[in-house]
Every structure is written in structure tokens, then in C-alpha cells.
Amino acid sequence: MAHGKVTITVDEYSSNPTQAFTHYNINQSRFQPPHVHMVDPIPYDTPKPAGHTRFVCVSDTHSRTDGIQMPYGDVLLHMGDFTELGLPSEVKKFNDWLGTNQCKQMQICLGRAHEGKHLSI
């Protein structure tokens, strides 16, 4: 494998998030920078092909896990806040929800600001 220089183009709106939102979301009817390729999610009940590993990705559920239709997967990745306020009762509710989901091989949860605010672990 040859090692060479990689050119990274900085988006012209990277220093102004408000202008970026206006340009990409309002002017183009949804947020889609030119270097991002949008994909449509597959239906939650789509069977997993044999020999594949399915990653189920969710984020920022903010204690609102009731009614989420989770697909079968091998690995659950939860990024972002999983509580609203970081209360122990919210963490317990989230843990109970994790116990009911179909991703049994591995569950990876990376909390954010709310989860460390009120808890001492």
C-alpha cells in the first residue's frame, strides 16, 4: 500500500454552523453536505443475511425508548444521551430497555453530558 498525501477539503461553512444549517437544510430541503451520501434505512424487520454482522445504531433517545421498534442485530451501538436529566431512575429504565432488545451478543453505549452529570459511578 502506497503512502501519500491526502487532501481534505474544509467545508466553506465549517466555521459558521448557523450558516451551514441554513445553506444545507433550508436551501437544499434537508441537511446533506456535498461529501455525505445519504442512505435509506432498511425496514426494522428485514432478515439478516447469513454470514453478516448487523450493527443497530441509535442515538439520543433521552429516556424515550418506549415504542422503538428495534431490529434484530448482533451489535447495538447507542451513542449520545440516553437520559433526559441523568437521573438514576432514567439510567435504570434505560438498562431495563437494554435487557429487552434483540441485540444479545454485544451492546455498546456511549453516553454524553446527561449521563455523567448526576451519577457517581
Sheet holding 75-79, edge to edge: 55-59, 75-79, 106-110
In a domain, residue 17? The reply is no
pLDDT score at 119: 47
In a domain, 25, yes or no: no
Q: Is residue 92, in this structure, part of any structural domain at all? A: yes
73 lies in some domain: yes
Q: Which domain holds residue 68?
A: 52-115
Question: SS3 of 23, please?
Answer: helix
How many domains in the chain? 1
- Which grid cell is 36? 455525505
> pLDDT by residue (tens digit) across 55-99?
888 888 889 988 888 888 888 888 888 888 888 999 899 889 888
Asked, for residue 121, whether it belongs to a domain, the answer is: no
Asked if residue 90 lies in contact with residue 58, where contact means CB atoms within 8 angstroms, the answer is no
24 found inside a domain: no
Is the model more confident about 112 or about 77? 77
The mean pLDDT value for 17-44 works out to: 69
The CATH number of residue 67's host domain is: 3.60.21.40
Q: What is the pLDDT of residue 92?
A: 92
In a domain, 1, yes or no: no
**CA-CA distance, 88 to 111, in Å (whole number)?**
14
What does the pLDDT read at residue 93? Answer: 92
User: For residue 106, which amino acid is it?
Assistant: M
Within-domain flag for 105: yes
Type of residue found at 117: K
